[in-house]
Amino acid sequence: MQLLTLQLAPGSGYATTYYDFRADRSGPAAMIISGVHGNETASIAAAQQLVKQLKRGELQLMKGRLVIVPLVNQQAYRRKVRGRPDLNRQFPRQSGSEGRNGLARAVFRLARQVSPSWFLDLHEANGLSQLSSRVLGQTLITNPRSPAIPAVQRQIRKVNAAIPNRNHHFNRRLHELPGSARTAAARLLRAKAVTVETCWSLSRASRIRYQKKIVRGFLQEAGLLK
Ligand SMILES: [Zn+2]
């Protein structure tokens, strides 16, 4: 396996490191981004830990390419805020468009170049979806009619089977969100695009564990991990 450690938007005020893992065998590409919102720290930690595990060989890329941007919004992260304007509304809404925001543009230019079959965007949210249909904590979100839906169902079943407290179970949401990274990747790149949302009120260790388990599950679906 080959690893390139690179800078996204080098020289800009929002330059951030990303990792480009290439397996010896050719195969599909997957892209993972995290920290689009600077205060969703368990999702950022999960992406960083996955990078470490791949570097150490604890996880092995079987084939294809995996690009991880663990901390998209450095500036918001440093200030421990979600970030304004909401970066997850700044991604391009139609083909030919680049998006309005420099950072979203840089992320999406990379996504266009990678052309991933799978695109995972890691987030955190308020509330428990099991208790209210109006909150996004503990959900996997994809677009209506997404080809990712069967895999989302399988991952939800798998992760929930290991969560004894039913209130903490994950649920599926189908939602078209123009300007979000997920909807941009689904509509403009035809990627199987999923947003992972853990609930802020759970322990940090559990949130990181859920994020990592779900990401590994999707990478297995993609054939990139065993
Ligand atoms: Zn978020």
List the domains of the chain with CATH numbers: 2-221 (3.40.630.10)
Q: How far is the CA of 2 from the centre of ligand 1 (A)?
A: 30
Cβ–Cβ under 8 Å, residues 30 and 216: no
Q: How far is the CA of 123 from the centre of ligand 1 (A)?
A: 4
**Structure tokens given for 67:** 């690009």
Q: In what order do the strands lie in the sheet with 29-34?
A: 2-8, 16-22, 65-69, 29-34, 118-125, 192-199, 139-142, 171-174
* Strand bridging mode 2-8 / 29-34: unpaired
Q: How far is the CA of 106 from the centre of ligand 1 (A)?
A: 18
Residue ranges in the chain assigned as alpha helix (H): 41-56, 74-79, 102-114, 149-161, 181-189, 204-221
Q: How far is the CA of 211 from the centre of ligand 1 (A)?
A: 13
In three-state secondary structure terms, 131 is: coil
Q: How far is CA 211 from CA 8, 188, 195, in A?
A: 23, 25, 11
Task: Identify residue 173 by its one-letter amino acid code.
Answer: R
Q: How far is the CA of 88 from the centre of ligand 1 (A)?
A: 8
**162: Cα separation from own chain's centroid:** 21
Render each residue's pLDDT in the chain as its tens digit; 226 residues. Answer: 999 999 999 999 999 999 999 999 999 999 999 999 999 999 999 999 999 999 999 999 999 999 999 999 999 999 999 999 999 999 999 988 887 799 999 999 999 999 999 999 999 999 999 999 999 999 999 999 999 999 999 999 999 999 999 999 999 999 999 999 999 999 999 999 999 999 999 999 999 999 999 999 999 999 999 9
